[in-house]
Amino acid sequence: RKEVEQDPGPFNVPEGATVAFNCTYSNSASQSFFWYRQDCRKEPKLLMSVYSSGNEDGRFTAQLNRASQYISLLIRDSKLSDSATYLCVAKGDSGGGADGLTFGKGTHLIIQP
């Protein structure tokens, strides 16, 4: 069974701090990985894709460790607006583009003033 595991939190972090969370995935055949962000009572939205070489988008850095089957997200200089639930997502590639994504249950982040 494909699974993606995350620490549900909540992570309470002061504004301006750096916060990092990981997730692990069980399906070694997973090829693509993502972080989605979900605000309270809203739909999930793509935050960033995770590339094998690691990638950075402003204050956000995502990394993939295939050997250990984990993905990380680092947020620097955290803002109040970063408060949300972060969903780790793995996508298997069986040749079709319609594979459903496997979502982690999410990590709840609260940035405190």
Binding site residues, other proteins, CB under 8 A: 32, 34, 42-46, 49, 87, 91, 96-98, 100-101, 103-106
Which amino acid appears at position 8 of this protein?
P
Nearer to other proteins, 78 or 102 (CB): 102
- Under 8 Å between Cβ of 9 and 107: yes
Q: How many CB atoms lie within 10 A of CB 82?
A: 18
Residue 14: cis peptide before it, omega within 30 degrees of 0: no
Q: In the complex, what is the shortest distance from the CB of residue 98 to other proteins, in angstroms, rounded to a whole number?
A: 3
- In whole angstroms, the minimum distance from the beta carbon of 43 to other proteins comes to 4
Nearer to other proteins, 3 or 15 (CB): 3
Nearer to other proteins, 96 or 113 (CB): 96
Q: How far apart are CA 113 and CA 106, in angstroms?
A: 23
At residue 52, the 3 state secondary structure works out as coil
Least Cβ distance, residue 42 to other proteins (angstroms): 7
